[in-house]
Structure 1
Amino acid sequence: MCLIASYFFLQSLLWTYNQQFKETIPLLRSDSKFEPRFVKGWRFFRDATSVLHAGYTKYPSKAWRFLRADTDLLVLPSKYVEELRSLPHSIASPTLAHAYNLSGSNTNMNIILKSNLHFRALQERLTPNLNKLAQPMQEELRYAMDLELPKREEWTPIKPYHTILRLVARVSARIFLGVPLCRDEKWLEISTEFTENTFITLVVLRLFPRYLHSLLGWFLPSAWRSTSYVRQAKRLLVPEIKRRQAATAKSETPDSNTDTLLSWMMEIARKEERNPKDLAHLEVVISLASIHTSQMNAVHILYDLAEYPQYLEPLREEIETVIAEDGTWDTWDKNSYYKLKKLDSFMRESQRRNPPTLLSYHRIMQSDFVLEDGTLLKKGTHITMAVNEIQNDKSVTPDPESFDPFRYYRLRQEDGHNHLHQFATTEPNILNFGHGKYACPGRFFAALEIKTILVRLIMDYDWKLPDGQGRPENLMAHEFIFPNQDGILHMKARKL
């Protein structure tokens, strides 16, 4: 064992030495240029914020590199966003980068490499149909809240992470699968537990070199569980998919669940994309993305509202104004939620302070490409951007240290800015959802889902932190930021 450990240690030293001197793009170094790679990886795991801040501060307008235990990444400044945003997959692939970054072959995420059906379904069917999806989402949320939330008129402690997880899972499932599958406890378990175990697996694997991931995956219980949940999803969904396919072949309408993501995927799937097992697998992966994004954002916002309770009344007044115009939320459509500009601003500011990841705009270069200033991006290079550093640069966000929930609301009051600065809009310097034609296609659904949930939580309940306690601290692993799972808030049903 000592010989094996010595071998890996020497290989790490040699690789690090070679990388430091063979490239013209600067490598972010620690105090010792001979520091072993696994130590660099551990430092990034423990404190990615400091690593990325050091790199961005040292190289604010030029490309630089840093080492993770499992790979090395080339970090680009945002000035290259417009130049890169429309590059085709044949030159710079975001899909390959996402699969690679999520250790796809070991986390069941490589299904996204088989086709872009999930991307097309979200972009071509789900987003254009958001207006008709508002009421089913509200209906499912009402059902979920009756089951999941206490209605006591005295202060009651809850752990929002787990409560919001259930709400988001139920609302997402209603749109992705329809009734009755969305209320199947087995599916709710699959969609939530697959997400949790996939991230556990990813966090652990990231601590080791890439060539060890497949071996280590055999010994990780979280990896076994993720694979098991994919298999369970196939057993649950494949019979339903086959039933719908058979009904479609006979020109029959299988049921009322035609406006669901599953039905839309089946509708636009090419011949080679119609395998029921693959469709079931994609549903699990899309649920991971939806639950991960919406749940974390909603929990962060609740924590922020409890920390800054002075903003609750302005948000309630805005909601009541929309109710006066459009009736109760049971009749709201997408446009009603669009009117909640203060809430949207609060959501965006909360995300700025608590982004889901410190890195985004991932691409893997499929061929050499020379940027306009002569910077060479070599084939095989994994490029990314330090999105949190970019959006919190003082030239982008004045006074970034302050939590100013209505800063984007004020910006939207300026001439010509009414449709800008929204939670779901992307900009060259606001890249949490990416930018350009490969930006996250589900971001508009996520925005509507979060608003749907928050409106009811804000209007139906009062919120506060436990006496003498501050906002629960975020948890970090590598570049990922998670709301505290054990954080407690006190809630009390309002007398309306």
Structure 2
Amino acid sequence: MAAQILEVVVERVPLIATTAIVSLLAFIIQRLFSKASLSHFPLAGAMIGDAEKRRKAYLAGAKSIYKEGYQKFKNSVFRVTSPRTYSDTVVVSPAFLPELKKLPDDVLSMSEAVAEQLEAKYTKINTDEPIVAHTVKASLTPGLVRLNHYIADEVDRTLRTELPPCKDWTEVNINSKLLRVVAIVSGRVFIGPELCHDEAYINAAVNYTIDVIQALQAVQRLTPWQRWLRGSSLPEVKNLDRHEEEATRFLRPIIAARRQAEKDQPGYQKPDDMLQWLMNERDFGEREDRELAKLQLTVSFAAIHTTTLTATNAFYNLAAHPQLVPELRQEIQTVLAEHGNQFTSPALQKMKKLDSFLKETLRLHPNAMVSFRRKVLKPITLSSGQVIPAGVMLEVPHYAISHDEETFPEPEKFDGLRFYRMREQSQTFNKPSAGGKATSVEAAAHNLFASVSQNSPTFGYGRHACPGRFFAANEIKMIVSRALLTYDIRNVGESTERYPNIEVSNLCFPDPTRKLLFKAV
């Protein structure tokens, strides 16, 4: 029907006006048809009012909308009105994840979903670069055994440099400090030990992250039809172009020097970092300097943004739950003593209480209310018989899942050793399956910080689960461990309550203006 209408328009409207009118009609038709095709799914937030009121309510904070939908339709499907388009988003129960993860990318697409999430039509952020995920999986993750030593050294050096001496209780804006710490430590792996301390790199990595978020917020404040007219020309969006130009100027001589050395020097020892790994991946084609610079910005945005938020949440929880500090500190000291005072992979794996503390931090304070966001490219029939049409966005209500009291008793309570106990209990009480001992091992593995499961889809689920989560987990563990071994931490003033997070749209992040008190042990 939509195609027939557009065909008539193209035949009868003068050519000069065809593009604009067809685009407008396509938008209207898509809205009408998608709305009709989703009407059989119950709507969360219906009591708020019409679509525009629901869109504004979502922008103000979507947590209550997702919680309402999950509580009413926990084992089924519902829809919410998101700010991205007027077509509602379909929200599915985690029970459908095992079947959804098997669908091919031409049916259920993560890259298309990310493109919409990052407003790529206007921001021009490249969301379909398989070389990045491939490089992380093929070079970064298996290389952590080798790289952990260098990451740990950089954590030690950077924390000493960025944090004040704190001989007495000293106020520290930990979020701003962590932005630089994470940028430098991540940069050690991304572009090498010398360049990661260059202020040009640090400013690009930190400010690009901030400016991407501001550009997204600027675009999403516009209604969908306003985005079509003004989205690409917003000042916040133009800032992203400036970052690409600056990153290219910074990296061009470095890339040229590496290429020249490879040609001129027999036995040239290539640098062991992400930039070089990307340059080595010839199967994805030769990359121009600007493309490599843009890839570096993309990697920095993904790593620095999420890692800093999670680490900041962890520090706010340490300050609000000081009773956990001695136990965590004791575990870290004991494990390091057993491993030559080195943050080796086995040492990090043995810090079970710290792992639990971080997973509980992520459960109670995730970076977003949803996960497993996908664009439906072809109609899907669920095992329940429900049909999800093509063209809509699909997601899982992660925040509501992690606050389900049937899965997590007292879900609103922060229990830093919750997952530690669950791991120990699963290893002790789970009976082996008929095929061997896999049952208890798998049950314990589901309770790890970097693991993904139906009840913990923070990092996604299936083959497109966040490939960098293992690097992020190691980095955060090292930062928190070194801080615990060096400082006592508490809130400023007399309050012992945890600082509340800020909720905007479907995002949830720690207040970056808050300060903590640090004192050297």
TM-score by shorter chain over 0.5: yes
1:382 matched to 2:396 = no
Amino acid at match of 2:520: A
Identity %: 30
Q: Relative to 1, partners in 2 of residues 1:472 and 1:315: Cα closer, same or farther, differing over 3 Å?
A: same
State how far apart, in whole Å, the 1-side matches of 2:265 and 2:487 are: 47
State how far apart, in whole Å, the 2-side matches of 1:345 and 1:393 are: 18
Aligned counterpart, 2:473: 447
Aligned counterpart, 1:5: none
Aligned counterpart, 2:255: 241
Aligned counterpart, 2:377: 366
Aligned counterpart, 2:482: 456
Aligned counterpart, 2:292: 279
Please list the CA deviations of residues 393-423 of structure 1 after superposition, one character each: whole Å capped at 9, or x if unmatched.
1222122122111010011113224433011
User: Equivalences for 1:267-306 in 2 at 5 Å?
Assistant: 267-272=280-285, 274-306=287-319
Residue in structure 2 matching 1:403, options 414, 421, 431: 414
User: Equivalences for 1:474-485 in 2 at 5 Å?
Assistant: 474-485=501-512
1:307 matched to 2:320 = yes
Shift of 1:200: 1.4
State whether residues 78 and 385 of structure 1, in contact with CA within 8 Å, keep that contact through their aligned partners in structure 2. yes
Please list the CA deviations of residues 197-234 of structure 1 after superposition, one character each: whole Å capped at 9, or x if unmatched.
11112123223333432543355332222221121111
State whether residues 158 and 488 of structure 1, in contact with CA within 8 Å, keep that contact through their aligned partners in structure 2. yes
State whether residues 34 and 391 of structure 2, in contact with CA within 8 Å, keep that contact through their aligned partners in structure 1. no
State whether residues 244 and 254 of structure 1, in contact with CA within 8 Å, keep that contact through their aligned partners in structure 2. no
Please list the CA deviations of residues 336-379 of structure 1 after superposition, one character each: whole Å capped at 9, or x if unmatched.
11111100000000111100100110111222222222221222
Shift of 1:31: 2.6
State whether residues 49 and 358 of structure 1, in contact with CA within 8 Å, keep that contact through their aligned partners in structure 2. yes
State whether residues 234 and 280 of structure 1, in contact with CA within 8 Å, keep that contact through their aligned partners in structure 2. yes
Long gaps (5+) in structure 2: 1-23, 428-439
Q: Relative to 1, partners in 2 of residues 1:64 and 1:320: Cα closer, same or farther, differing over 3 Å?
A: same
Q: Relative to 1, partners in 2 of residues 1:367 and 1:20: Cα closer, same or farther, differing over 3 Å?
A: closer
State how far apart, in whole Å, the 2-side matches of 1:332 and 1:338 are: 10
Amino acid at match of 1:91: V
Please list the CA deviations of residues 134-173 of structure 1 after superposition, one character each: whole Å capped at 9, or x if unmatched.
1111222222123211113100001111011111010000
State how far apart, in whole Å, the 1-side matches of 2:249 and 2:57 are: 41
State how far apart, in whole Å, the 2-side matches of 1:270 and 1:397 are: 45
Amino acid at match of 1:283: Q
State whether residues 20 and 27 of structure 1, in contact with CA within 8 Å, keep that contact through their aligned partners in structure 2. no
State how far apart, in whole Å, the 2-side matches of 1:250 and 1:82 are: 52
State how far apart, in whole Å, the 2-side matches of 1:186 and 1:32 are: 47
Moved more, 141-150 or 191-200: 141-150
State how far apart, in whole Å, the 1-side matches of 2:354 and 2:466 are: 21
Amino acid at match of 2:63: T
Aligned counterpart, 1:342: 353
Residue in structure 2 matching 1:221, options 235, 238, 250: 235
State whether residues 343 and 478 of structure 2, in contact with CA within 8 Å, keep that contact through their aligned partners in structure 1. no
Q: Relative to 1, partners in 2 of residues 1:32 and 1:129: Cα closer, same or farther, differing over 3 Å?
A: closer
Shift of 1:320: 1.2
Residue in structure 1 matching 2:39, options 18, 23, 29: 23
- 3-state SS, counterpart of residue 62 of structure 2: helix
- 3-state SS, counterpart of residue 445 of structure 2: coil
Q: Relative to 1, partners in 2 of residues 1:195 and 1:32: Cα closer, same or farther, differing over 3 Å?
A: closer
State whether residues 46 and 478 of structure 1, in contact with CA within 8 Å, keep that contact through their aligned partners in structure 2. yes
User: Equivalences for 1:72-471 in 2 at 5 Å?
Assistant: 72-109=88-125, 111-113=126-128, 115-213=129-227, 215-218=229-232, 220-248=234-262, 252=266, 255=269, 257=271, 259-272=272-285, 274-328=287-341, 331-414=342-425, 415=427, 416=440, 417-469=443-495, 470-471=497-498
TM-score, L = length of structure 2: 0.87
Moved more, 311-320 or 95-104: 95-104
Moved more, 55-64 or 162-171: 55-64
- 3-state SS, counterpart of residue 395 of structure 2: strand
Amino acid at match of 1:43: A
TM-score, L = length of structure 1: 0.91
State how far apart, in whole Å, the 2-side matches of 1:74 and 1:252 are: 57
1:488 matched to 2:504 = no
State how far apart, in whole Å, the 2-side matches of 1:124 and 1:66 are: 37
Please list the CA deviations of residues 293-343 of structure 1 after superposition, one character each: whole Å capped at 9, or x if unmatched.
111111101100100100000001101111221122xx3311111111100
Tell me how many residue pairs correspond in the alignment: 477
Shift of 1:81: 0.3
Long gaps (5+) in structure 1: 1-7
State how far apart, in whole Å, the 1-side matches of 2:313 and 2:444 are: 25
State whether residues 38 and 208 of structure 1, in contact with CA within 8 Å, keep that contact through their aligned partners in structure 2. no
Q: Relative to 1, partners in 2 of residues 1:238 and 1:467: Cα closer, same or farther, differing over 3 Å?
A: same
Shift of 1:271: 4.9
Amino acid at match of 2:405: K
Shift of 1:29: 4.5
Q: Relative to 1, partners in 2 of residues 1:365 and 1:273: Cα closer, same or farther, differing over 3 Å?
A: farther
Amino acid at match of 2:291: D
Amino acid at match of 1:436: G
State how far apart, in whole Å, the 2-side matches of 1:60 and 1:350 are: 24
Amino acid at match of 2:494: G
- 3-state SS, counterpart of residue 493 of structure 2: coil
- 3-state SS, counterpart of residue 206 of structure 1: helix
Aligned counterpart, 2:21: none
Aligned counterpart, 2:433: none
Could you say what the CA RMSD is over the residues aligned between the two structures, in angstroms? 2.2
